[in-house]
Chain A
Amino acid sequence: MRKVGLVGWALAAPALVVIGVFFALPVAAGLLLSLTDFDLYALADLSTLRFVGLGNYAHLLQTPLFWQALGNTFYFVAVGVPVSIGLSLGTALLLNARVAKWHGFFRTALFAPVVTTVVAVAVIWRYLLHTRYGLINQALDGIGIAPVDWLGDPRWSMPAIILFSAWKNFGYNMIILLAALQAVPREMYESARVDGAGPWRQFVDLTVPMLAPTLVMVGIMTISGYFQLFAEPYVMTQGGPLRSTVSVLYFMYEEGFRWWNLGNASAVAFLLFVVIFAVSWVLLRFDRDPGGAA
């Protein structure tokens, strides 16, 4: 028995070493770092490093910009995730519909944004969103809506980022949901129709419950992905205007790599970890709760 245990450990050892060196060790170092005021001066002369306990965390909780970044990120998640998953579900349903033609073409076309490079398409979106010459405002003008200053107006910058992210990401979830939809036996729909259920009843009482596990998984993945919003504001707005698109991760990047306050930046990373962990935990509870699934 003991021998089997040893063999097991030996076989797992390479993976464990890799995880230990590249994950556990850096995480532990990061946690230690977040308890110090490691900055440029400490980089020059380690004797100026001060242990500040939870000081970085306390300081962050009193920093308006951190709360603003957290608020912006929650805004992005709260609006972006439903929009993105709604779009994925809608397109998956359309692609799964029997009357639809050219499935293969549309599947590829709708999935295409996922495989593009964020930076490259963000540049194109900046043209699309341009106040005077952008296609989006020209289309709005066609239906009589005054031009919107998408990336320059603090009220519209986050909606513009959400629009861009939803467009960029919905294809990935669409493929997963499409696979789940195709796994629902057609006979179930036939028997539902025999029982007199219309399209809406079929969707609410058959499609949604059958998709529930997939939806929760897609939801958790999308939420934890969206909490890590960084590249979109980095490329499109640099956090502006008026800091309306500074996300937690963008804030961390500025603290750590622009201003070299690595102690503070590590504390931001851990706070973000706590937030994502808490939200995912709540979602998983929701999934396991039989009342929620029924």
Chain B
Amino acid sequence: MQRRRALRRIGCSALALAGAGCGRRSDPNGSLDFWAMGGEAEVVGQLLPEFRARHPGIDVRIQQVPFTTAHEKLLTAYAGDSLPDLCQLGNTWLPEFAALDAIEPLDARIAASSIPLDDYYAGVLDTNRMPGATAADAPRLLGLPWYVDTRLLYYRSDLLREAGIKQPPRSWAEWRAAMVAIRARGGEGHYGALLPLNEPEPLYAFALQQGALLTEGDTRGAFSQPAFRRALDFYAGLFHDGLAPAMTNTQVSNVWDEFARGMFAFYISGPWNIGVFRRRLPPERQNDWATAPLPGPDGPSVSTSGGSSLVLMRGSPRKEAAWKLIAFLSETATMQRFHALTGNLPPRRSAWLAPSLRNDEPSRAFADQLERVRPSPKVPEWERIFQEMQLTAERVVQRKQSSAAATAELDAWTDAVLEKRRWLRARAARGAV
């Protein structure tokens, strides 16, 4: 009896504490909590003075979250009901937080605003569009792209010229022929391309060019089907024919040094490397590198659609104020300033009219590629399948398994991972009947 009363007292005080916490959090006029990550978090504060001038009543608190722990922190915050009002969210994490129903759809707010959605690159915007709870529901837009990331070709223009190649390759066949020529000229210790074995993106981009990776409403793997097999065979063939070294990027001590030294002529990477190449390649090499859209099976094709979006949290009591900040950060002028501060590429075509982007040779290939990007499968398990896909490919590259056996195993594994999705779908179907 005594003990029970004591327990109840502990419980009450805990509730009181929680209540106090809620009281502070639920104040609709309190300051906005904005979680941003990595380099973006460091500079976003410099964009805010103008926002404060326009909306003197809104106070913004920026919380810096390191990228490496952000995912964990966000999930823990969800479980603990302490998510911020708005947040920078990596595109690959959107499906997870959509499954948690933690994000407020933006469709109505965008319709009432002056933000023209058709100014955004379609593939990038599509990444933020999540299917509704049931098949009958219309898809909802859960985030507005903040900056974009896609993968394309960095290449050594001088090495291509010396090998007698006049323009960057556009198709897989041209690309392969260029690598053969460059390797023949370079000799021992020289390769066509560097495709680090622990980076899934190159293979993933080739696979996107070929077709779907998941099937049956994203509840089963499609890796043993011809589309993915063609991508894997092309990818593994580059290693088996000695055109790419079977290395992880921890084994290549310094990608930029080796690129400058001519160990490889092609490298698939994202926009951040434009700045890094300018900083880290020696001055005499600065005229010897360029970027080009990713070669496709038969000419220019799609690539990956990454980057970060701005999302509004469903639990926020300050949605109107938070939306004003998202809208401000999504203005063309703000995006251009953001690009100047970070080098991040803007997702709106109108922002690309800035001279610093329009006249920048390496960035222009990205503008071209961004017209052709394809979103990842929109399931929370995708990140995990993506990693397993690369481990499978690594086994094929190392000749530990045939590509037929490896992809069949990958499909079985994927089907097991997606079992709960099939169960949820069956349950929803039963509920609807």
Interface residues of A (CB under 8 A from B): 37, 39-41, 43-45, 48, 50, 126, 130-133, 149, 151-152, 237, 240-243, 257-260
Contact = CB atoms under 8 A, between A and B. Distances in A.
A260 B75 contact: yes
Given A240-B198, A242-B395, A152 B253 contact: no
Contact of B251 (A149, A257, A260): A149
A128 to B, nearest CB: 13
B420 interface: yes
Given A39-B420, A40-B100, A258-B384, 5 more contacts: A40-B99, A41-B424, A43-B78, A241-B198, A260-B75
B99 A133 contact: no
Most buried by B among A40, A151, A240, A257: A40
Contacts of B380: 40
Contact of A41 (B72, B79, B198, B420): B420
Interface string B51-92: 000000000000000000001100100110000000000000
B391 interface: yes
Contact of A243 (B72, B253, B391): B391
A131 B391 CA distance: 23
Query: Which range contains the number of B residues in contact with the other chain?
Result: 20 to 34
A205 B354 CA distance: 83
Given A152-B248, A242-B398, A41 B253 contact: no
A141 B247 CA distance: 22
Nearest to A241: B248
Interface in B181-221: 197-198
Contacts of B250: 126, 151-152, 237, 240
A48 B101 CA distance: 14
25 contacts: A37-B420, A40-B96, A40-B380, A41-B99, A41-B420, A43-B75, A43-B78, A43-B79, A44-B100, A44-B101, A45-B101, A50-B423, A132-B253, A149-B251, A152-B247, A152-B248, A237-B250, A240-B198, A240-B250, A241-B197, A241-B198, A242-B391, A242-B398, A257-B72, A259-B384
Q: Is the interface of B mostly helix, strand, loop or mixed?
A: helix
A259 B379 CA distance: 12
Contacts of B79: 43
Interface of B: 71-72, 75, 78-79, 96, 99-101, 197-198, 247-248, 250-251, 253, 380-381, 384, 391, 394-395, 398, 420, 423-424, 427
B116 to A, nearest CB: 33
A126 B391 CA distance: 23
Contact of B253 (A44, A48, A133, A242): A133
A40 B71 CA distance: 13
Nearest to A243: B391
Nearest to A45: B101
A15 to B, nearest CB: 17
A260 B380 CA distance: 10
Contacts of B251: 131, 149, 151-152
Contacts of A45: 101
Contacts of A257: 72
B245 to A, nearest CB: 11
Contacts of B420: 37, 39, 41, 48
Contact of A44 (B99, B198, B394): B99
A43 to B, nearest CB: 6
Nearest to A236: B250
Contacts of B381: 259
A132 B423 CA distance: 51
A290 to B, nearest CB: 47
Contacts of B101: 44-45
A242 B401 CA distance: 13
Contacts of B391: 242-243
B391 to A, nearest CB: 7
Nearest to A131: B251
A45 B102 CA distance: 11
The 5 closest A-B pairs by CB, nearest first: A152-B251, A44-B100, A259-B384, A40-B380, A257-B72
A133 B254 CA distance: 11
A43 B101 CA distance: 10
A92 to B, nearest CB: 35
Most buried by A among B75, B79, B248, B394: B248
A37 B391 CA distance: 25
A33 to B, nearest CB: 13
B314 to A, nearest CB: 11
A6 B423 CA distance: 53
Nearest to A154: B398
Nearest to A259: B384
Contacts of B96: 40
A251 to B, nearest CB: 13
Nearest to A255: B384
A260 B93 CA distance: 13
B100 A242 contact: no
Contacts of A237: 250
A149 B250 CA distance: 10
A150 B21 CA distance: 51
B284 to A, nearest CB: 23
Contacts of A43: 75, 78-79, 100
A126 B253 CA distance: 11
A188 to B, nearest CB: 52
Given A41-B99, A41-B420, A242 B75 contact: no
Nearest to B247: A152
Contacts of A133: 253
A40 to B, nearest CB: 5
